[in-house]
């Protein structure tokens, strides 16, 4: 089993940066791809960014390309989401997720079977 805990959310002004962390328990975490999703109230969960287990490949939603980056430190069982140039439309709850599925689609929430509780990011204009 893998448990994920996000941290680093908060309230910032437009144009600021935040770094979210996704800390995992479980020895197998380093072998799993990890993604970040975000969800606004009443809306579907939206793919943001993902990284493979070895960090060899990263995937970005068009809405965050050039502003957000993802990285991981497998020795620390942690994945990071660096968010720059934040805008009010980035205000949502961000959740990290890990996948142990043999059929993995990086931008499909159903591909991920471990989820954190989420962290709120609020960007004021």
Reported as a pLDDT band with limits 50, 70 and 90, residue 62 is very high
| H helix or E strand, kind and range, residue 52 | none
Q: How many angstroms separate the Cα of 120 from the Cα of each of 9, 41, 73, 117?
A: 5, 12, 23, 10
Q: How far apart, in whole angstroms, are the C-alpha atoms of residue 124 and residue 64?
A: 18
Q: How far apart, in whole angstroms, are the C-alpha atoms of residue 102 and residue 31?
A: 12
Condensed to tens digits (0 to 9), the pLDDT of residues 27-52 reads: 789 999 999 999 998 999 999 999 99
Condensed to tens digits (0 to 9), the pLDDT of residues 73-124 reads: 999 999 999 999 999 999 999 999 999 988 889 999 999 999 999 999 999 9
Residue pair 2/113 in contact by the 8 Å Cβ criterion: no
């Amino acid at each position: 089993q893998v448990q994920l805990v996000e941290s680093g959310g908060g309230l910032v002004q437009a144009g600021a940066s935040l770094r979210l962390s996704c800390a995992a328990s479980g020895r197998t975490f380093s072998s799993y791809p990890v993604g970040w999703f975000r969800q606004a109230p009443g809306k579907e969960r939206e793919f943001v960014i993902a990284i493979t287990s070895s960090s060899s490949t990263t995937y970005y939603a068009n809405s965050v390309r050039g502003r957000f980056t993802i990285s991981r430190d497998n020795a620390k069982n942690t994945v990071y989401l660096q968010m720059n140039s934040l805008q009010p439309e980035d205000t949502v709850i961000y959740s990290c997720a890990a996948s142990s599925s043999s059929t993995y689609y990086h931008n499909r929430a159903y591909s991920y079977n471990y989820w954190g509780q989420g962290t709120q990011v609020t960007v004021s204009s």
